Amino acid sequence: MEEADYEKVFELWKTIKGFGIRSMDDSREGVLRFIRRNPGISVVAEAKGRIVGAILCGHDGRRGCFYHVCVHEDFRQRGIGKSMAVFAMKALQEEHINKVCLIAFKKNEVGNSFWKSVGWTFREDLNYYDFVLNDENITTFQ
């Protein structure tokens, strides 16, 4: 993924049913800040000149994380998601990152089914917590 891909990626996000878009984190400025902090490990998939899949991928020096993993509905079941995930995981390995995680909404049946089918482990031994630092970073669902 390159900075110039932002507009097309954002348009893709808006087509994904149930997708949460944050007003600040997913703004052009927010995504470009993320890509610059994590160069070369986020990925897009293209078909016929359009972006049909994307993964924002980053790490903190210890653990990698996937954000906003998606494939356009018309292009699913073709190995695109798996190929993007493999690309991002190899990029993380090159940076000596040994583990990667992601969060999938419980309602996201397609995503949860996909991750289980490609060998990711569903964790039942932990609780996930977060704390909002900026109430202006509003999430809207598509």
Number of domains in the chain: 1
SS3 assignment, position 57: strand
Of 138 and 102, the structure prediction assigns the larger pLDDT to 102
Phi-psi map region of 77: left, alpha, beta (phi>0 left; psi -120 to 50 alpha): left
pLDDT at 9: 98
**Alpha carbons 42 and 44: distance in angstroms, whole number:** 7
pLDDT, tens digit (0-9, with 9 covering 90-100), for 21-33: 999 999 999 999 9
Residue 82, pLDDT above cutoff 90: yes
Contacts of 17 (CB under 8 A, 6+ apart): 73, 142
What percentage of the chain carries pLDDT values higher than 70? 100
Residue 105, pLDDT above cutoff 90: no
31 in Cβ contact with 21 (< 8 Å): no
- The domain that contains 116 carries what CATH number? 3.40.630.30
pLDDT, tens digit (0-9, with 9 covering 90-100), for 38-64: 999 999 999 989 999 999 999 999 999
Helices (H), the chain: 6-15, 28-37, 80-94, 109-117
pTM above 0.85?
yes
Question: Which structural domain, as residue segments, surrounds residue 129?
Answer: 3-141
Average pLDDT rounded to a whole number, residues 116-140: 92
pLDDT at 142: 81
